[in-house]
Amino acid sequence: MTVTASPNPTPGAPLLAVDDLHVEFRPRGRTVHAVNGLSYELREGETLAILGESGSGKSVSAQAVLGLLDSPPAFITKGEVRFRGTNLLALPERRRRTYRGAKIAMIFQDALSALNPVHRVGDQVAEMLRVHRGLGRSAARERAVELLDRVRIPSAAARAGDYPHQFSGGMRQRVMIAMALALDPDVLIADEPTTALDVTVQAQIMRLLAELQDELSMGLILITHDLAVVADVADRIVVMYAGRAVEEAYVEDLYARPAHPYTEGLLASVPRVDRRSAALIPIPGSPPSLAAIPPGCPFHPRCPRARGRERCATEVPELRTVAERDEAARRSACHYAEEVLPDAVRTS
């Protein structure tokens, strides 16, 4: 992979590549390994879902991409984040700032706390245009209303003068989206955008995101703990566990034939319409403490397939290609992935 920025990227080259990312938190002398060698690629116009439980490092890695983590206590100890070939982590803060919002934008889980309570929403959207584009007050304001209208906020012109707490949860998230789209970013990172919302509103927001992504052909990274949320909109999924990617696959492949015992467990523990008769089976145990990740495969203490296998407890499995669909399409970090795959084929 080349590390030079090219104004005209070759088609098919990744828009955003995260390569061997390591993030540690060091609060008061302890070390917490939040992200441990995460790699993924996002292509133009693609929707990539990052799935994991809380504490799996999915949000931390997203914030690391944008440089939102505070250091201390967070330290990016290794790895690269390349946007169109430019390693963002190596840029000085001044230049890195020009990527935030303009090239890569982010929306957060709780729009109420993510929006500044003392500024009008119109001003918060307009601020992007004033700072990055140098627009005047009224021009920025006008454009902000257009953006609010585009995310389907009713009577946007009037509501631009309201404060965040005067909006409903779904409408607030729309404001966040309008703000994120203000500068036509190439990548939008949505960190659990619907978790705080009602189910019906969730669906509306996901549909809006999908439509906007289609319209603007941006790359969309969708971070979630909920398989059901991403099933319809994502192209590919990266499953994270204890700060690592344990499986990477196209959505339909992952659903049909998981290639990692953790994914297998996740699928067995949520109700699914296509397997109505099957009983729900929870994954035993709880996710490991990131301050003391088990040696070997981090999932082995909870893995039904690791019983009596010494290799699982001693050797860290690499994320490797286990089946081909196209390049890097199907990867799993299990020593016995091949054993998992046919199993899944049999049951489905």
Partner 1 sequence: MWRYAVRRVLQMVPVLLGTTLFIYVLVFALPGDPIRALAGEKPLPDSVYQALRDHYHLDDPLLVQYGRYVFGVLFRGDFGETFNGQSVGQLIADSWTVTAQLAATAWLFELVVGMSLGVWAGLSAARRGGRGGGTRRGGFADAAVLGGTTVAIAIPSFVLAYSAQLVFGLKLGWFPTAGTDAGWPMSYLLPGMVVAAAELGYVARLTRTSLVENMRADYVRTAVSKGLPRHRVVVRHTLRNSLIPVVTYLGTQIGYFMAGSIIVEGIFNLPGIGHEIWLALQIKEGPTIVGIVTFLVLVYLFANLVVDLLYGVLDPRIRYD
Partner 2 sequence: MTETPAIRRERDEPSAAVPAAATAVAGGELGGGAAASLWRDAWGDLWRRPIFWLAMAIMLVMSLMAAFPGLFTSREANDRCDVQFAKRPPASWNPFSGADHPFGTDVHGCDYWAQVVHGTRAPIVIGFAVTALSLLIAVTLGSLSGHYGGWLDALISRITDVFFGLPLLLGALVVLTAFPAHGIGAVVLALGLFWWTSMTRLMRGQVIAVRDADYVQAARMLGAGDVRIMVRHILPNAIAPVFVFATLNVGVVIGSESTLDFLGVGLQYPSVSWGLQLREAQNIFVDYPYLLAYPAIFLTATVLSFLLLGDAVRDALDPRLR
Report H helices in the chain: 58-66, 93-96, 111-114, 121-133, 137-150, 156-159, 169-181, 199-216, 227-231, 251-256, 261-269, 310-314, 337-347
Residue 111 C-beta: closest distance to partner 1, Å: 9
Token couple for 209: 């995101």
Give yes or no for a contact between 156 and 171, defined as CB atoms under 8 angstroms apart: no
Nearest CA among 97, 107, 112 for reference residue 178: 107
Question: How many binding residues for partner 2 (CB under 8 A)?
Answer: 39
Taking the least distance from each CB to partner 2, the nearer of 227 and 340 is: 227
**Residue 305 DSSP code:** G
Where does this chain touch partner 2 (CB under 8 A) — which range of 14-22, 189-197, 210-218, 319-327? 189-197
Residue 129 CB, nearest approach to partner 1 (Å): 11
Q: Given the complex with partner 1, which of 164 and 243 has the nearer CB atom?
A: 164
Name the residue nearer to partner 1 (CB basis): 223 or 344: 223
**Closer of 73 and 294 to partner 1 (Cβ):** 73
Contacts with partner 1, residue ranges (CB under 8 A): 63, 66-68, 70-74, 97-102, 105-106, 108, 110, 113-119, 127-128, 131-132, 163, 165-166, 176, 179
Question: 3-state DSSP call for residue 161?
Answer: coil
**Longest Cα–Cα distance in the chain:** 69
**Contact between 286 and partner 2 (CB under 8 A)?**
yes
Please choose which of partner 2, partner 1, none residue 53 contacts, taking the beta carbon within 5 to 8 angstroms, the exact cut-off set by kind.
partner 2
Interface with partner 2, residue 203, by CB under 8 A: no
What single letter denotes the amino acid at residue 11? P
Q: Which long-range contacts (CB under 8 A, 24 or more apart) does 342-347 make?
A: 343/264, 344/256, 344/257, 344/258, 344/259, 344/264, 345/257
- 40-79 mask for partner 2 (x: CB under 8 A)? -----------xxxxx-xxxx-------------------
Judged by CB under 8 A, which of 22, 25, 42, 261 binds partner 2? 25
289 binds partner 2 (CB under 8 A): yes
Q: Does 117 bind partner 2 (CB under 8 A)?
A: no
The set of residues, in sequence order, having a beta carbon less than 8 Å from that of 254 and lying 6+ positions away, is: 237, 239, 247, 263
Contact with partner 2 (CB under 8 A) among 188, 227, 259, 319: 227
Of 165 and 307, CB closest to partner 1: 165
Please tell me whether residue 248 binds partner 2 under the rule CB under 8 A: no
What are the percentages of helix, strand and coil residues in the chain, rounded to 5? 40, 20, 40
| Rounded-to-integer distance, Cα 195 and Cα 203, Å | 11
Would you state the structure tokens that stand for residue 315, as one six-digit string?
A: 């050797």
Report the interface residues with partner 2, using CB under 8 A.
25, 27-28, 30, 32, 34, 51-55, 57-60, 108-110, 191-192, 195, 225-227, 266-267, 269-270, 282-287, 289-292, 302
